[in-house]
């Protein structure tokens, strides 16, 4: 009898540990690297992100796959470099265009999670195409609540305004129109809480795809008042937006705790790219984010554009309170999620990320990647980062390649190319080999797209185009 009881006990214990983990990915939008407590912020409160960081692993060299939104998210959700399928710019919001979105031949990793028995949900920003073929419910998500474009007003919907990029369009719940009450970030977080509660008895994957703190810089008055000590009004709004997002993350984490799911839930947090910064041509631009100590920001491949906050936490499997030094990238999140789900990662088209769990548990030694790669403008700008911290890049403004050794020069100020031409050539050969499998960008950027569409309207019915907001003046203000 004792042996039977012991067998039953250990069988139950094994079964508990063998249960498939839930997976949640929180992704911020245009968040600066230095704008959370765990990355050094002192003027923005992020207690929930700080607790998440303490409970897991902070990646000192965590990277996004691109320096702006759409391509970065396309890489993350496919688990592949987005250049393999020509998604190298932000597509225009156009529900009538069956081509302006992520290639229908790409199997996004949530569909791989579905195949492994998971319920999948996406809440928030999509930005991978607004037509039917690109809809999240057709691309691996059982549940979707959010908006299909690249951003949204945080307080209102107004269908009487020109559609443009859809910032005032209605939200969508699955394939039906939806609304929101109050502040958008809070509405998204509370929907994520409901998803956890509704699926507590099933293994699930949830992508909480915030648009905060992407512009427009809007926050509730009470949250703005909490940051009244910040003189810069843009920074004050930005700080309040991150604070609200942090509280929402805390609510989702609390839902995991209350439903006994926290221990066996793998949680990631990251941003889709670095924070946008002012420039010589746009001195009042940016969203008041801080990417320090890194150079650059959204739109370029200096570290400020792609080096992002990056956390993984899974109490049942990964020791907490540690940092990881080797470079990792967002497509690794996708590959890790599929691996822990027991899904198929190498069916065509094969995923390119790396399962990070063996590296974090100590089973695998060394760097997950020999090098990481970036490309923009069909190769007009690019970057390659080796696992030892050597970085070789071409920025279109400088027009000349540059090389840095990040462990000694995290701010990329000391160009060492002239001193190490052989090493630079080795890195460039790595980049060329990687680039051979890429294709040309198959999308028009949203500004070019709207420009061509406006030209069509103007040529077809000039007077009507002016009345409808498609005049040259309207385009310039878009």
Whose CA is closest to 383, among 291, 296, 282, 281?
296
Q: What is the mean pLDDT of the chain?
A: 93
Q: How many CA atoms lie within 13 A of 308 on its CB side?
A: 32
Q: How many CA atoms lie within 13 A of 408 on its CB side?
A: 8
pLDDT in tens, 69-84: 999 999 999 999 999 9
For residue 7, pLDDT beyond 90: no
CA dist 354 and 356 (Å) reads 6
Whose CA is closest to 18, among 317, 258, 312?
317
pLDDT in tens, 378-432: 999 999 999 999 999 999 888 899 999 999 999 999 999 999 999 999 999 999 9
The model's pTM is 0.93
Mean pLDDT in residue range 189-213? 98
Phi, psi of 463 (to 5 degrees): -65, -40
- Containing 109, the helix (H) or strand (E) segment is helix 109-115
Note the pLDDT of residue 474.
52
CA dist 318 and 100 (Å) reads 40
DSSP-derived secondary structure for 206-258: EEEE--TTSSS----HHHHHHTTT---HHHHHHHHHHHHHHHHHHHHHHHHHH
More confident call, 396 vs 102: 102
CATH number of this structure's domain 371-435, picked from the four choices 3.20.20.70, 3.40.50.1580, 3.30.1120.10, 3.30.1360.10? 3.30.1120.10
For residue 210, pLDDT beyond 80: yes
Joined tokens for residue 394 = 């071409």
CATH number of this structure's domain 21-361, picked from the four choices 3.40.720.10, 3.65.10.10, 3.40.1080.10, 1.50.10.150? 3.40.720.10
DSSP state of 55: H
For residue 452, pLDDT beyond 70: yes
- Percent of the chain at pLDDT exceeding 90: 87
Note the pLDDT of residue 281.
85
Residue pair 48/253 in contact by the 8 Å Cβ criterion: yes
More confident call, 376 vs 458: 376
Note the pLDDT of residue 454.
83
More confident call, 463 vs 368: 368
Joined tokens for residue 221 = 């008055």
More confident call, 16 vs 59: 59
- Percent of the chain at pLDDT exceeding 70: 92
Cα-atom radius of gyration of the chain, to the nearest Å? Answer: 22
Residue positions annotated with a catalytic role: 69, 127
Instruction: For tokens 């630079």, name the residue.
Output: 424
Note the pLDDT of residue 154.
98
Most confident of 186-190, 377-381, 446-450: 186-190
- The residues facing 402 across adjacent strands are 393
> Angle CA(153)–CA(158)–CA(160) in degrees, nearest 5?
140
Note the pLDDT of residue 470.
57
Joined tokens for residue 376 = 């923009």
């Amino acid at each position: 009898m004792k042996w039977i009881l012991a067998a039953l006990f250990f069988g139950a214990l094994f079964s508990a540990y063998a249960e498939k983990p839930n997976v949640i990915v929180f992704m911020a939008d245009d968040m600066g690297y230095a704008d959370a407590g765990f990355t050094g912020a002192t003027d923005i409160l992020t207690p929930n992100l700080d607790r998440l960081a303490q409970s897991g692993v902070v990646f000192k060299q965590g990277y996004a796959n691109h320096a702006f939104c759409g391509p970065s998210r396309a890489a993350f959700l496919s688990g592949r470099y987005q250049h393999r399928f020509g998604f190298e710019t932000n597509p225009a919001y156009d529900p009538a265009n069956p081509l302006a979105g992520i290639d229908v031949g790409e199997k996004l990793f949530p569909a791989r999670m579905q195949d492994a028995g998971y319920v999948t949900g996406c809440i928030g920003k999509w930005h991978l195409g607004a037509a039917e073929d690109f809809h999240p419910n057709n691309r691996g998500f059982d549940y979707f609540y959010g908006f299909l474009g690249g951003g949204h007003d945080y307080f209102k919907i107004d269908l009487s305004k020109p559609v443009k990029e859809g910032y005032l369009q209605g939200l969508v719940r699955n394939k039906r129109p939806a609304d929101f009450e109050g502040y958008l970030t809070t509405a998204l977080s509370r929907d994520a809480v409901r998803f956890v509660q509704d699926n507590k008895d099933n293994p699930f994957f949830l992508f909480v795809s915030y648009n905060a703190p992407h512009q427009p810089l809007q926050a509730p008055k009470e949250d703005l008042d909490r940051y009244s000590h910040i003189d810069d009004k843009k920074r004050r709004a930005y700080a309040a937006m991150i604070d609200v997002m942090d509280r929402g993350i805390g609510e989702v984490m609390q839902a995991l705790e209350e439903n006994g799911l926290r221990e066996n839930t793998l949680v990631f947090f990251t941003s889709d790219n670095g924070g946008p910064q002012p420039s010589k041509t746009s001195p009042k631009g940016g969203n008041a984010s801080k990417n320090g100590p890194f150079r650059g920001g959204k739109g370029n491949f200096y570290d400020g554009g792609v080096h992002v906050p990056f956390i993984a936490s899974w109490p049942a499997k990964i020791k907490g309170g540690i940092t990881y030094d080797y470079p990792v990238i967002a497509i690794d999140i996708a590959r890790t999620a599929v691996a822990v789900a027991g899904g198929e990662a190498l069916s065509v088209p094969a995923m390119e990320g790396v399962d990070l769990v063996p590296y974090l548990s100590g089973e695998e030694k060394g760097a997950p990647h020999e090098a990481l790669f970036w490309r923009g403008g069909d190769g007009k700008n690019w970057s390659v980062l080796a696992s030892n911290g050597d970085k070789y890049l071409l920025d279109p403004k400088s027009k000349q390649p540059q090389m840095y050794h990040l462990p000694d020069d995290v701010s990329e100020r000391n160009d060492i190319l002239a001193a190490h031409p052989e090493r630079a050539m080795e890195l460039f050969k790595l980049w060329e080999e990687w680039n051979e499998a890429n294709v040309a960008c198959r999308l028009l950027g949203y500004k070019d797209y709207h420009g061509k569409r406006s030209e069509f309207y103007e040529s077809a019915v000039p007077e009507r185009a002016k009345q409808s907001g498609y005049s040259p003046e309207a385009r310039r203000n878009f």
